[in-house]
Amino acid sequence: MKWILFAWKNVMRNKRRSLTAMLITAMGTAAVLIGGGFALFTYESLEEMTARDSGHVVLAAARGFDNDEDVPLQHGLAGAAALAAHYAAQPGVRAVAPRIQFSGLISNGDKSTVFVGSGVDPAVDFRLRGPQLEFVAGEAPGASDAVPEVAIGNELAGLMKVKVGASLTLLATTTEGNLNAVDVIVRGIVKTGVPDIDRRLVMTDIRAVQRLLLSDKVGSLALYLKDTAQTEAMAAQVKAARPELAVRTWRDLAVFYQAVRALYNRIFGILGLIMVVIVAFAMSNTLGMAVVERTREIGTLRAIGTQPGEVVRNFVLEGAAIGAAGAALGMLLAGGATVALLFAGIDMPPPPGRSVGYPLLLSFSAPLYLGAMLVVVALAATAAWFVSRRAAHKPITEALSHV
């Protein structure tokens, strides 16, 4: 305790200099924490976004993910209803969503264009996607045995010049290779924020799609879990129980997520490295000056029986104190920024390929904060050790005659 007090008194000896080192350390720590918080928030948002979109674990028939079908549902999953019922009954599973991806032409009678369709179970799918699927007009289509209802992308609606309630025709190739058509009613107009998708998207009841394609198979079954962390465990369980199926997790399917994560990890890793260098320099500089100034004092303390290691230890404590104070201040700054952004409501510009931005928020991560504190303190202590160990071993008579 006495030693820590002594170290702190020495820190306060040259207040301006110590304060400068503390501020540099605080800035560095805050920069890393804010950068890290931003990266974590982005990962979390993308994780949620991707998992909502694709489901946590996606099952398909063998080759179901290969995208090399000659006709629709060539590698479709048969007996999907029983499979869906089985997994829906599992404790960790929130919902099971059967899906068919298909494409064809959509027509308003005057003109037609290409669409990319998604056959879903209206009862579950629209609920699961949550806020990601924004209805700009109308509402989610229901399951209707008469005339199927659809939700279409807002840009496609513009292209087709239709409003909610209008009727359109879908044309697609059946599983037998023939052309088939179905009349549909526009029940909702949606916006995903990705223009390429909004120009082509058609969502409708999966049973209408099966009738259109003349098949009772589905393209895939998406399992939505209660806890994202259980993804790998569930995937492994399915693989073991159903070796004939192809199984993917949202992580496998999330190309964008993976790319962003790799990029951010690199960017913020480099940022962290730069901060480490800056803090190390600031610390060595501050403590190095202190050591030189106190050479005679070191000689005095050595003469009256202080071991070199004890001299070094005092400087290490001093460095650690500056580092800890700086890191604590940096944590406050980063924490303050995290809270402030919650209220500020700042939006980031849309990422490439998207038309809507996303809120600028930071995630708070206790391990990140704790790790930053440990790294900074260790760094400061190491710098102190490095700059003081020579002076501590200097011949005492030499140190005492230092002016």
Partner 1 sequence: MNASTMLAERTATVRLTDLKKRYRVGDDWAEALKGVSLTAAAGEMVALTGPSGSGKSTLLNLAGLIDTPDAGTREIAGKPVDGLDDAGLTVLRRERVGFIFQGFNLVPVMNVADNVEYPLLLLGRPAAERRQKVAEILERTGLAAFANRLPDALSGGQRQRVAIARALVKSPSLVIADEPTANLDSHTAQQIVDLLRELSHERGAAVVVATHDERMSAHCDRVLRLADGELISGERQ
Binding site for partner 1 (CB under 8 A): 2, 6, 9-10, 12-13, 296-297, 300-308, 310, 395-397, 400
Residue 161: alpha-carbon gap to chain centroid: 37
Distance of CA 129 to the CA centre of its chain: 17
We find the least distance from the C-beta atom of residue 14 to partner 1, in angstroms, to be: 10
Produce one character per residue of 83-118: b if its CB has 16 or more CB atoms within 10 Å, e if not: bbeebbeeeebebbbbbbebbbebbbeeebeebbbb
DSSP state of 245: E
Smallest separation, CB 300 to partner 1 (Å): 4
Name the residue nearer to partner 1 (CB basis): 374 or 396: 396
Q: Which is closer to partner 1, CB of 7 or CB of 380?
A: 7
Q: Which is nearer to partner 1, 21 or 361 (CB)?
A: 21
Structure tokens at 379: 């760094």
Of 228 and 295, the one with the shorter C-beta distance to partner 1 is 295
Sign of CA dihedral 198, 48, 257, 75: negative
Shortest Å, Cβ 283 to partner 1: 20
Nearer residue to partner 1 within complex by CB, 90 or 307: 307
Measured from the CB atom, is 2 or 16 closer to partner 1?
A: 2
Cα(19)–Cα(313) distance, integer angstroms = 21
Q: Least CB distance from residue 319 to partner 1, whole Å?
A: 16
* Nearest distance from C-beta of residue 21 to partner 1, angstroms: 17
Q: Are 41 and 377 in contact (CB under 8 A)?
A: no
In the complex, the smallest distance separating the C-beta of residue 304 from partner 1, rounded to whole angstroms, is 6
Using alpha carbons only, what angle is made at residue 337 by residues 334 and 343, rounded to the nearest 5 degrees? 150
Nearest Cα residue to 137 out of 188, 193, 184, 185: 188
